[in-house]
């Protein structure tokens, strides 16, 4: 019997913040696999989410920016006919999306538009969204509804109820299901449910060596031109971090309720549950206040926890993996046909506790596009040891992450050409790769 698949994607959850959450470990990590070096494909939301849905890097799926008309949902519409949803639906799965789809959904389409491949749809309407967590709009299977500011309208809780309802109904159908749940948490303004208001009262933004970095002469201009955080800004950052963590507690509640529903319906032992984020966030590191769109570790590394039948429970894996790997992994677990064009690699051997294949990747590609009349590519290569960056501004960074894990001293001006040259060459190869050559 084919397994069910649940994919939970949070919004801007960094690895340091995920590590503070009290229930993730018990809900997922102890019963499954934690990937300690998982990376996004892109440093902002929409391109990353498009990679999850297509198994392609941004330079190939074509969604390069967040906002419409050149990015977000309008840029993705030509790709909507070939996604996880359409592939799994064709393989006999009942599919559902609950929560955020893509930035600017449904700009350029009608508000009742439902993308191909989805049997059930509860998709947040970005065009009408005002505060993410309250006073929000949704396309509920072709009908547009508004949720207000009452406690019962809190978006993560509404999405939890819809996800649980779908899972319970799907369990009685005898048909395997794919459920994609995408709450807005913990994206700013990070409004939290009242029941979690007393938690994390003393939590601070991480005071790591790169926090409010003093000497940034080695950094590109966008960092050098960023002023040191003031005491007032640091205090606000600490408050925001507490809000973000409280906001994520409702996502833990969602996970707990969903796992309980799967257990009560007899589906838990035939369901794979994936938990991740589209990208991370800088919370004071290198002077930045809640900033993404960079290649620093706090932005490009994401949590990735997976539990399911036959998973190596309690195991951590240190292989370099990327969100582009989710599509081929899910398709293999589902017994569905994996299109040859996919650019990630299946994580199934790693989930089963097997030794990684001898040809497992030695680096991952990271992309970020800026816009000046046309999208301009900035890209980074992340290996076991090195982070090598070529910005769209023609500036560079290079870090030895073994000696300098907080990326305090860029070596791009002094690095041995015998080290830096091959990194640059490999980065050039990957930014133009397609299909098998990306793996």
* Domain boundaries, position 226: 4-355
Residue matched to tokens 């409702």: 250
Return the closest-CA partner of residue 421 out of 394, 366, 381, 393. 381
Return the closest-CA partner of residue 181 out of 52, 26, 367. 52
pLDDT digit string (tens) for 174-200?
Answer: 899 999 999 999 999 999 999 999 999
Question: Would you state the structure tokens that stand for residue 89, as one six-digit string?
Answer: 């639906």
Taking the alpha carbons of 43, 48, 49, 50 in that order, is the dihedral positive or negative? positive
Q: How many CB atoms lie within 10 A of CB 343?
A: 27
Instruction: For residue 400, list its beta bridge partners.
Output: 386
> How many degrees, rounded to 5, is the angle at CA 29 between CA 152 and CA 439?
105
Question: Would you state the structure tokens that stand for residue 49, as one six-digit string?
Answer: 């989410």
Indicate whether 382 belongs to any domain.
Answer: no
pLDDT at 70: 76
Q: If pLDDT is split at 50, 70 and 90, which confidence band does 300 have?
A: very high
pLDDT at 69: 75
Helices 231-264 and 155-171, packing angle to 10 deg:
20
Taking the alpha carbons of 106, 8, 70, 56 in that order, is the dihedral positive or negative? negative
**pTM confidence score:** 0.97
**Would strands 315-317 and 396-400 be described as parallel, antiparallel, or unpaired?**
unpaired
Indicate whether 415 belongs to any domain.
Answer: no
Return the closest-CA partner of residue 98 out of 69, 118, 112. 118
Q: Taking a C-beta distance cutoff of 8 angstroms, is the pair 83, 53 a contact? A: yes
Residues 6+ apart with CB under 8 A from 20: 200, 203, 245
Q: Measuring CA to CA, how many Å separate 81 from each of 84, 85, 183?
A: 10, 9, 24
Distance in angstroms (rounded) separating the CA atoms of residues 409 and 402: 12
Indicate whether 35 belongs to any domain.
Answer: yes
pLDDT at 374: 73
Report the half-sphere exposure of 69 (CA within 13 A, side-chain side): 3
* For residues 32-41, average pLDDT: 98
Indicate whether 277 belongs to any domain.
Answer: yes
Catalytic residue (one of 45, 247, 433, 438)? 45
Residues 6+ apart with CB under 8 A from 217: 224
Taking the alpha carbons of 242, 244, 247, 249 in that order, is the dihedral positive or negative? negative
Diameter of the chain by CA atoms?
A: 63
pLDDT at 201: 97
* For residues 128-135, average pLDDT: 83
Question: Would you state the structure tokens that stand for residue 146, as one six-digit string?
Answer: 């508004």
Indicate whether 88 belongs to any domain.
Answer: yes
Q: If pLDDT is split at 50, 70 and 90, which confidence band does 372 have?
A: confident
* Number of folded domains that form the chain: 1
Indicate whether 66 belongs to any domain.
Answer: yes
pLDDT at 373: 67
Q: Measuring CA to CA, how many Å separate 101 from each of 62, 83, 139, 180, 273?
A: 16, 13, 11, 9, 19
| Torsion angles phi and psi, residue 386, rounded to 5 | -115, 145
- The chain-wide mean pLDDT, for the chain, equals 96
Indicate whether 379 belongs to any domain.
Answer: no
Residue ranges in 208-268 assigned as alpha helix (H): 221-224, 231-264
Tell me, what CATH number does 232's domain have?
3.40.720.10
Q: Taking a C-beta distance cutoff of 8 angstroms, is the pair 229, 275 a contact? A: no
Indicate whether 402 belongs to any domain.
Answer: no
Burial of 144: CB neighbours in 10 Å, binned 0-12, 13-18, 19+: middle
Return the closest-CA partner of residue 286 out of 219, 337, 362, 370. 219
pLDDT at 285: 98
Measured in Å, how far apart are the chain's first and last C-alpha atoms?
A: 30
Return the closest-CA partner of residue 364 out of 309, 284, 297, 315. 297
Distance in angstroms (rounded) separating the CA atoms of residues 414 and 107: 47
Task: Give me the DSSP letters along 3-48.
Answer: PEEEEEEESS--HHHHHH-SSHIIIIITTEEEETTEE-SBSSHHHH
Stretch (H or E) spanning 89: helix 84-90
Residue ranges in 131-225 assigned as alpha helix (H): 155-171, 221-224
Specify whether 438 is catalytic: no
Q: If pLDDT is split at 50, 70 and 90, which confidence band does 127 have?
A: confident
Given a cut of 70, whether residue 266 has pLDDT beyond it is yes
Q: If pLDDT is split at 50, 70 and 90, which confidence band does 10 have?
A: very high
Q: If pLDDT is split at 50, 70 and 90, which confidence band does 1 have?
A: confident
Q: If pLDDT is split at 50, 70 and 90, which confidence band does 117 have?
A: very high
């Amino acid at each position: 019997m084919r397994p069910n698949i649940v994919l939970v994607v949070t919004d801007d959850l960094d690895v340091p913040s995920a590590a503070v959450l009290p229930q993730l470990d018990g809900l997922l990590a102890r019963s499954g696999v934690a990937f300690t070096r998982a990376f996004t494909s892109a440093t902002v939301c929409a391109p990353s989410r498009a990679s999850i849905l297509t198994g392609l890097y941004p330079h190939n799926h074509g969604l390069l920016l967040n906002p419409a008309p050149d990015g977000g949902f309008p840029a993705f519409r030509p790709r909507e006919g070939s996604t996880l949803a359409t592939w799994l639906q064709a393989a006999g799965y009942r599919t559902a999306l609950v929560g955020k789809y893509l930035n600017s959904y449904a700009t350029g389409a009608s508000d009742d538009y439902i993308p191909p491949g989805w049997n059930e749809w509860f998709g947040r309407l970005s065009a009408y969204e005002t505060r993410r967590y309250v006073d929000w709009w949704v396309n509920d299977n072709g009908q547009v509804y508004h949720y207000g500011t009452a406690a019962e309208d809190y978006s993560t809780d509404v999405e939890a109820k819809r996800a649980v309802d779908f899972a319970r109904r799907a369990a009685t159908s005898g048909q395997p299901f794919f459920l994609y749940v995408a709450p807005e948490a913990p994206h700013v303004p990070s409004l939290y449910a009242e029941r979690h208001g007393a938690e994390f009262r003393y939590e601070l933004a991480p005071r790591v060596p790169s926090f409010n970095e003093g000497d940034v002469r080695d950094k590109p201009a966008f960092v050098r031109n960023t002023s040191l955080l003031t005491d007032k800004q640091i205090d606000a950052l600490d408050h925001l971090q507490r809000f973000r963590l409280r906001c994520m507690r409702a996502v833990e509640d969602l996970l707990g309720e969903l796992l309980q529903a799967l257990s009560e319906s007899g589906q838990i032992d035939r369901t794979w549950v994936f938990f991740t984020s589209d990208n991370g966030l800088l919370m004071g590191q290198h002077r930045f206040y809640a900033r993404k769109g960079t290649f620093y570790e706090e932005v490009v590394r994401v949590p990735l926890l997976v539990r399911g039948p036959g998973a190596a429970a309690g195991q951590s894996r240190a292989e370099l993996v990327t969100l582009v790997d989710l599509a081929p992994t899910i398709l293999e677990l589902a017994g569905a046909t994996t299109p040859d064009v996919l650019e990630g690699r299946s994580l199934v051997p790693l989930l089963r506790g097997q030794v990684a294949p001898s040809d497992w990747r030695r680096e991952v590609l990271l992309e970020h596009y800026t816009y000046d009349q046309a999208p301009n590519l900035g890209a980074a290569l992340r290996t076991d040891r090195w982070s090598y960056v070529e910005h769209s501004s023609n500036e560079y960074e290079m870090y030895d992450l073994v000696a300098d894990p907080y990326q305090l001293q860029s070596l791009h001006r002094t690095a041995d050409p015998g080290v830096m040259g091959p990194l640059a060459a490999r980065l050039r190869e990957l930014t133009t790769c397609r299909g098998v050559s990306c793996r």
